Amino acid sequence: MDRRELLDPFAGMLASCCAPADIRRIEAGGTHLEMWEAIESSGFLQALVPESQGGIGLRMASVAPLFMALGGNAVPLPVAETMIARSLLSTAGIGTISGSIALACQNGAGSTFVPYGRVCDHVLIDDGSALQLFDVRQLERQYTNVPGSVDAWLNLPKSGEALRIIRPGSGISHLGALVSAAAISGAADRLLDMTTTYANERVQFGKPIGRQQALQQQLAVMAEDVIAVRLAAELACQNSFLPSEIPAATAKIIASNAAVRIANTAHAVFGAIGISAEHDLQLFTRRLHNWRQAFGSEQYWQIRLGAKRLKSELRSIDWVRNTYEC
C-alpha cells in the first residue's frame, strides 16, 4: 500500500465529518459522538495494531501522514493517541477498548493535565512505573479557562481503579510529543496554503499584497519552517512503532519552535480578520499554540535532549548517525 492509497480515504473521511462547523460545535461543548463514530467505523484506529490481533499492522512511518492530516483538519479528538494506545494495549494482550483514548503523563500527586481530556472516553497515563488506563467517566474533570480548549485536568484516584500494563522503557511522553509535532506539521501546511492563497487574492493599491517584497520574505521564512517541521516529524517516525526518544525530542523542539512564528506570520498576513471567531484561520493557529505546549515545550525537550547528549562519549556527528541509523 503506497502513501496515497492510505492517505486519500483517510483525508476524505476527515473532510466529511470534521468541517469547521463541527469543530466549533465540539469546542463550544457540543456532542462529538457523531464525529467519533465516523472515525471509529472507518477502521483506521486499528492501523498500528498487529494483524494477528485484528489490526492492520502498519509501521509508524506509514501512519505519519495520517497524523499530519489530523493536524491539517484541526480534529478536536485524540485520534492518533487512540491508535498508539490501542497498539500498546494489544501488545500487553488487552483487546480493543471501544471509545477514544488520550495519553498523559502524571507529574506528582493531584490533578494531571490531559490533552483532549474534555472529550476523551479513556486516558492512558504514564505514572513513571507503569501505564494505567482509566475510564474518564469515573474521574472528576476540571476544564481549563482557555476558550475553545478540549483539554482538561483530571483528578485521579489514589490506587486500585485502573487497568495497569507494563510501561515501555522510555515511557510514552516522547510518543505524545511526536504526535504533537506531526499535528503541528499538518496544521502548518494548511496555514501556509491558506496564507499564500489569501496573499495572492487580497488586492491593495491595485495589486495582490503577495507581490510586496516584505510580505514575500515573511512567506518564504514561513515555508522554510513548514518544511523543517515536516522533515523532522517524518524522520522521527521512520524507524519503528516505538521511536527512540532522541528523534521524537528533536521533532518536538523544531515543531514547537516554529509553531509561534508560523501562527504569527499567518495572522500578520491576514490582518485583524484572521483572529476573529468567524474566520477559520484561528482554528489552526490556536491548535499550534496548544500542541506546542502538549507533552512539553521546546525548552523542556531541549533540556532532556542536551542531557542525553552530555552522557554520550561519541563525537556529535557519530551520535547523530547512531540516532538516525545513517
The per-residue pLDDT for range 93-144, each reduced to its tens digit, is: 988 889 999 999 987 777 899 999 999 999 999 999 999 999 998 889 999 8
The four Cα atoms 190, 192, 196, 197 give a dihedral, to 10 degrees, of 0
Mark whether 214 and 148 lie in a shared domain: no
Mark whether 158 and 9 lie in a shared domain: yes
pLDDT at 199: 97
Helix H or strand E encompassing 197: helix 173-201
Are the C-beta atoms of residues 256 and 298 closer than 8 Å to each other? yes
pLDDT at 3: 77
Residue type, 117: G
Mark whether 191 and 318 lie in a shared domain: yes
Report the alpha-carbon distance of residue 95 to residue 305 in Å, rounded.
35
Question: Whole domain around residue 243: which residue ranges?
Answer: 172-323
Report the alpha-carbon distance of residue 251 to residue 322 in Å, rounded.
17
Task: Report CA-CA distances (Å) from 57 to 45, 51, 60, 162, 197.
Answer: 11, 5, 10, 27, 38
Mark whether 157 and 247 lie in a shared domain: no
pLDDT at 272: 85
Letter string b/e over residues 27-54, b meaning 16 or more CB atoms within 10 A of that residue's CB: beeeebeebbeebbebebbbbbbeeebe
Residues 6+ apart with CB under 8 A from 132: 124, 125, 156, 162, 163, 164
Last residue of a domain, one of 103, 137, 166: 166
Residues 6+ apart with CB under 8 A from 32: 26, 76, 77, 119
163-166 and 130-135 strand pairing: antiparallel
DSSP secondary structure letters along 126-195: E-SSEEEEEEGGGSEEEE-SSTT---EEEE--SSSSSEEEEPPTT-SHHHHHHHHHHHHHHHHHHHHHHH
For residue 301, what is its C-alpha cell? 525537550
Which residues of the chain are modeled with pLDDT < 50? Answer: none
Mark whether 81 and 7 lie in a shared domain: yes
Mark whether 26 and 141 lie in a shared domain: yes
What is the number of domains present in the chain? 2
Report the alpha-carbon distance of residue 46 to residue 35 in Å, rounded.
17
Last residue of a domain, one of 133, 166, 199: 166
For residue 157, what is its C-alpha cell? 484516584
Mark whether 14 and 162 lie in a shared domain: yes
pLDDT at 2: 75
pLDDT at 4: 82
DSSP tag of 5: H
Mark whether 64 and 202 lie in a shared domain: no
Mark whether 91 and 215 lie in a shared domain: no
140-143 and 101-105 strand pairing: unpaired
Mark whether 177 and 249 lie in a shared domain: yes
SS (HEC) of 69-110: HHHHCCCCCCHHHHHHHHHHHHHCCCCCCCCCEEEEECCCCC
pLDDT in tens, 288-325: 999 999 999 999 999 999 999 999 999 989 988 887 76
Last residue of a domain, one of 110, 135, 166: 166
Query: What CATH number does the domain containing 219 carry?
Result: 1.20.140.10
pLDDT at 325: 67
Mark whether 22 and 144 lie in a shared domain: yes
Mark whether 54 and 189 lie in a shared domain: no
Angle subtended by helix axes 213-236 and 60-72, to nearest 10: 140
For residue 287, the number of C-alpha atoms closer than 13 Å in the C-beta half-sphere is 31
Closest CA to 135 of 99, 104, 166: 99
